């Protein structure tokens, strides 16, 4: 019995929360869609005379931000995922290039088509779950005597739904109808909110062009992966040539000299032998560091959580690491996530001026999510030519995404997401 009542309370709380969210989406969606649609139409119409070239990128950026907000709440509130497939804009592009690159992007026109749909059908589908939750309150108020005030004020019947309220009997009938609507709301409010987001996805999500866009993204990420691999091989070759190889060559020369001096000058031979032993130890250390850079032993042996903790322990800043993983991702994904975290932490130490770092690693809904936060000066940008660009490319190979929130004055939060399952 206690379990059933607890389930009813949980469900009732979900219904109330869904109704409130629907009302928020309804109000904000209507106001935002109307304002942004009018601004977008006016700005694009002014492109031929040059004014729109400057204003359109700003307006379309606002449209994208509004659409991304709807994507975020759809995923968080109803688990409806709406992919964003905006084409990248080169860093330092002038207003003319930014304007026409955005206008040539199919995702831009999906956004613009979604705005009128959101202010009409979207408004209705968002309003319905809110009304279904709130409208029964009027029926209960009529049954409790409010009908007298309303009928006196209107000099006639007051309609509640299809019930004309003219006396206490019909008022009780209105209350019964309100109770029926409340029961319906208990069962239908969260699904109706989900229907709104499904409608949003049908317009805002990629349609027939999804395959072509997918091919384009995969082509870019494959090229970036090949470039990254070639660069990594060159780094390994350079490190071997300048480090361990040079020490091994020097050690071989020392051993040759020792062989010649072992009978003539034993004292000198012992000194060179000690030097050769030091060189071998240094070469071994460099080889271990090199191997650790290719694939850290702690990652292979202990998994991503402990590897990230080991990274944090080597930082010169105070750090906190929170890991919630019930298993291990595939080895390539685990390696990409580890080196992405390593690069983000290195950037934070070098450029943020932070005193403290927080790392959160968890897996939920088929997605590995990693957040790195610091209390530094902020101002980090994904398109600023920093190491974050390389991180974005590394994650893109696995359909991962990188998001950076870094207002001036901080804090900075770098969020990484990679779709994967845990073993």
Q: Assess whether 373 and 266 both reside in one domain.
A: no
Q: Are residues 308 and 169 part of one domain?
A: no
The residue out of 207, 223, 253 marking a domain boundary is: 207
What is the arithmetic mean of pLDDT over 296-304? 78
Residue 329 has pLDDT above 80, yes or no: yes
Write out pLDDT tens, residues 212-228: 655 666 666 566 655 55
Question: Is the model's pLDDT at 54 over the cut of 60?
Answer: yes
What is residue 89's DSSP assignment? -
Give residue 63's pLDDT band: very low, low, confident or very high (50, 70, 90): very high
Same-domain pairing of 138 and 15: yes
93-116, pLDDT tens digit by residue? 788 888 888 998 888 999 999 999
Same domain for 284 and 351? Answer: no
Whether 29 and 176 map to the same domain: the answer is yes
pLDDT at res. 153:
65
* Average pLDDT value for residue range 147-166: 72
Structural domain ending residue among the three candidates 159, 191, 207:
207
Asked if 306 and 392 sit in the same domain, the reply is yes
Tens digits of per-residue pLDDT, 394-415?
A: 777 777 888 888 788 878 888 8
| The pLDDT value given to residue 60 | 93
Q: In terms of domains, do 290 and 308 share one?
A: no
Residues 266 and 308 in one domain: no
CATH number at residue 383: 3.30.565.10
215 domain-assigned: no
The verdict on residue 226 lying in a domain is no
* Residue 212 within any structural domain of the chain: no
Half-sphere exposure of 143 (CA within 13 A, CB side): 14
Could you report the per-residue pLDDT of 241-268, keeping only the tens digit for each? 556 666 677 677 777 777 777 777 777 7
386 belongs to a structural domain: yes
How far is Cα 329 from Cα 323, in angstroms, rounded to an integer?
A: 14
Q: List, edge to edge, every strand of the sheet that includes 367-374.
A: 318-324, 356-364, 367-374, 412-419, 401-405
Q: Best-predicted range by mean pLDDT among 35-44, 300-309, 341-350, 368-377?
A: 35-44
Number of domains composing the chain: 3
Q: Does residue 222 sit within a domain?
A: no
- pLDDT mean over 178-183: 83
Tell which of 191, 207, 223 closes a domain.
207
**Looking at the domain assignment, is residue 220 inside a domain?**
no
388 and 286: one domain?
no
Percent of the chain at pLDDT exceeding 90: 13
Indicate if 97 and 33 belong to the same structural domain. Answer: yes
CATH number of the domain where residue 243 is located: 1.20.5
Among the residues of 106-167, which ranges form H helices?
A: 106-119, 121-141, 147-154
Do both 164 and 17 map to the same domain?
yes
pLDDT band at 196, cuts 50/70/90? very high
Same-domain pairing of 289 and 368:
no
Q: Is residue 22 part of a domain?
A: yes
Per-residue model confidence (pLDDT) at position 55: 92
Higher pLDDT, 129 or 223: 129
Report if residue 120 sits inside a domain.
Answer: yes
Strand partners, 368: 363, 418
Domain that holds residue 397: 302-419
What integer is the mean pLDDT of 355-382? Answer: 85
Evaluate the omega torsion of the peptide bond into residue 411 and state whether it is cis, within 30 degrees of 0: yes
Q: Is 409 left (phi over 0), alpha (psi -120 to 50) or beta?
A: left
């Amino acid at each position: 019995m206690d379990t059933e009542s607890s389930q009813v309370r949980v469900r009732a709380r979900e219904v109330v929360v869904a109704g409130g969210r629907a009302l928020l989406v309804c109000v904000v969606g209507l106001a935002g869609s109307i304002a942004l649609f009018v601004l977008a139409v006016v700005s694009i119409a002014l492109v031929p005379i040059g004014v729109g070239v400057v204003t359109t990128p700003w307006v379309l950026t606002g449209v994208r931000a509004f659409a991304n907000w709807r994507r975020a709440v759809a995923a968080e509130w109803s688990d409806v995922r709406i992919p964003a497939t905006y084409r990248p804009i080169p860093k330092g592009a002038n207003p003319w290039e930014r304007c026409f690159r955005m206008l040539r992007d199919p995702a831009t026109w999906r956004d613009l088509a979604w705005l009128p749909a959101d202010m009409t059908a979207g408004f209705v589908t968002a309003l319905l779950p809110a009304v279904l939750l709130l409208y029964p309150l009027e029926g209960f108020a009529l049954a409790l005597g409010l009908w007298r005030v309303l009928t006196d004020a209107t000099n006639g019947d007051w309609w509640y739904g299809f019930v004309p309220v003219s006396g206490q009997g019909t008022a009780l009938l209105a209350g019964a109808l309100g109770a029926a609507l409340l029961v319906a709301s208990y069962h239908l409010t969260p699904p109706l909110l989900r229907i709104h987001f499904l409608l949003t996805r049908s317009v805002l999500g990629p349609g027939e062009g999804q395959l072509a866009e997918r091919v384009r993204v995969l082509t870019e990420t494959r090229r970036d992966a090949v470039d990254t691999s070639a660069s990594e091989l060159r780094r390994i070759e350079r490190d071997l040539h300048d480090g361990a190889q040079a020490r091994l060559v020097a050690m071989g020369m020392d051993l040759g000299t020792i062989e010649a001096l072992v009978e003539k000058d034993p004292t000198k031979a012992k000194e060179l032998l000690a030097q050769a032993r030091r060189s071998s130890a240094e070469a071994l250390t460099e080889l271990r560091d090199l191997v650790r850079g290719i694939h850290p032993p702690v990652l292979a042996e202990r998994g991503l959580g402990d590897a990230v903790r080991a990274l944090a322990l080597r930082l010169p800043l105070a750090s906190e690491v929170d890991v919630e993983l019930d298993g291990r991702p595939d080895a390539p994904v685990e390696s990409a996530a580890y080196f992405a975290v390593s690069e983000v932490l290195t950037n934070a130490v070098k450029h943020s001026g932070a005193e403290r770092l927080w790392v959160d690693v968890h897996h939920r809904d088929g997605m590995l999510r990693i957040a790195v936060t610091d209390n530094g000066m902020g101002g980090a940008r994904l398109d600023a030519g920093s190491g974050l660009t390389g991180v974005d490319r590394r994650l893109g190979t696995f359909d991962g995404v990188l998001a950076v929130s870094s207002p001036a004055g901080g804090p900075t939060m770098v969020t990484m997401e990679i779709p994967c399952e845990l073993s």
